[in-house]
Amino acid sequence: MAYSSVNPFNGKLLKSFDELTDKELEEKLVAAEKCYKTWKHTSYAERAKIVANAAKLLGERVDEFAHTMTLEMGKRIDEARGEVKFSSDILAYYAKNAERFLAPQKLNPTIGDAHMESSPIGVIFGVEPWNFPYYQLARVAGPHLMAGNVLVIKHAGCVPQCAIAFEKLFIDAGAPVGLYTNLLISHAQSDKVVDDDRIKGVALTGSVDAGRSIAARAGQNLKPSSMELGGSDAFIVLEDADLDHTIPWAVWGRMYNTGQTCCAAKRFIVVDKIADKFLERFSAALGALEAGDPLDEKTTMGPLSTESALVQLLKQVDDAVAHGARVILGGKRVVRPGSFMHPTILIDVAKDNPAFRDEFFGPVAMFFRVKDEDEAIELANDSDFGLGGSVFTRDIERGRRVASRVNTGMMFINNISWSDAELPFGGVKDSGYGRELGDMGIQEFVNKKLVRYAKVEAPV
């Protein structure tokens, strides 16, 4: 069954769902297009009533939404509650700010007057991942619905109950039929949706392979797309870093969401002078984490999202070792029910090792020792990915200098505060293109139209 809820804590099947028939899919696309013809003419105030109401309901039902998430993909319950609250904040942010972001922009031509105005383009197709089952939805729903578009969404196969709950949230908030539609569809049906003339844009968050496939198909259809793909973020520790401050961020940056985050800290690049102390303390902190029930607030490490995700990660570690890397912590699954893996540190990962280019989507850290700041930056940039990264130093100006030299979409100094509603999120290289959140996020799927008036004679 393509859409199945399996609790990764104990491997038990919770519920499974049938995919839509082609007839049911067509009915939903018809409803979405019909809704758009009305929604695009509604005022920002009318749109905001529904989006803000969805934010309010989400904020009032944090425990309910968080519980479903934890059961389906294993996120620790306190992290799950945080995601629900943040998702509510994102919806509220766009309900409040969309009109300002898309207000006509006055231009100053040499003759006459002109302005740019923004208008929606139609039905947007979103393909979203399982690792943040509500946040990923909120950051497309907030901006694009407020811009006057409507959404049809294919969510990940392992979180169908989260997907259904988010659609119901908008229904409960008073959304018209077709405004936000969850699609339980196959990959073949997904391709047909991208090809469909009623779809005017495509937004994907997922793997590099998925991005290449969907972006190519959207391109063939001359449809705009945004791609938020993987990452292998560098966590740079300079010799003057405060380890009392740095180590907790290192642990959080690698282990938040059991390491299943595209912009997690994955490559720990430490200047030699402080490397031994960092590695000793980092290893001890990771080794102290204990697997447990993610519904228990005392649990410090949850399971991976699925058994297949765990098997894939274990294989990556084994392949890395086969090519010369060494495991100095973990490297194995936890001997207990559920899809748990010990926190793992790999060292001696050479450039010809496949692991050097890989993304480890789970609790696996690669550690690199470098001689100085320049070598740290060179290694940070030696990646196919370019999503985020961080640098730790007591000298903030030095941190800014390093941040400017690392080729990513985002850099953080002495923290890894990935997301705020008002901060654009996205990357470069194999990490994709386009931005979500902030004032940039709402611009991805709007028509930016030039309107000019000039009292001039026609050329002869």
Q: Among 33, 83, 128, 228, which one carries the catalytic annotation?
A: 228
Question: What are the tokens at 237?
Answer: 């520790």
Q: Which residues contact 259 (CB under 8 A, 6 or more apart)?
A: 360, 361, 362, 363, 364
pLDDT at 419: 81
Same fold, 3-229+431-451 and 233-413: no
**Cβ–Cβ under 8 Å, residues 301 and 340:** yes
> Catalytic: 228?
yes
Cα(334)–Cα(329) distance, rounded to whole angstroms? 13
Residues 35, 158, 162, 262: which is the catalytic one?
262
Give the CATH superfamily of 3-229+431-451. Answer: Aldehyde Dehydrogenase; Chain A, domain 1 (3.40.605.10)
Dihedral angle at the C-alpha atoms of 143, 148, 152, 154, nearest 10 degrees?
-10
* 379 Cβ contact list (under 8 Å, min separation 6): 234, 267, 269, 368, 370
Instruction: Answer yes or no: 280 catalytic.
Output: no
Averages of pLDDT over each 10 residues, the chain, 460 residues: 92 97 98 98 98 98 98 98 98 98 97 97 98 98 98 98 98 98 97 98 97 98 97 98 98 98 97 98 98 98 98 98 98 97 98 97 98 98 98 98 98 92 97 97 98 91
pLDDT at 1: 57
* pLDDT for position 456: 87
Answer whether 83's CB lies under 8 Å from 70's CB: no
Residue 155 CB coordination number (10 Å): 25
Q: Domain segments of the chain: what residues?
A: 3-229+431-451, 233-413
Query: Looking at the domain 233-413, which fold is it?
Result: Aldehyde Dehydrogenase; Chain A, domain 2 (3.40.309)
The confidence score (pLDDT) of residue 117 equals 98
In the numeric block, the tokens 């392992």 are attached to 158
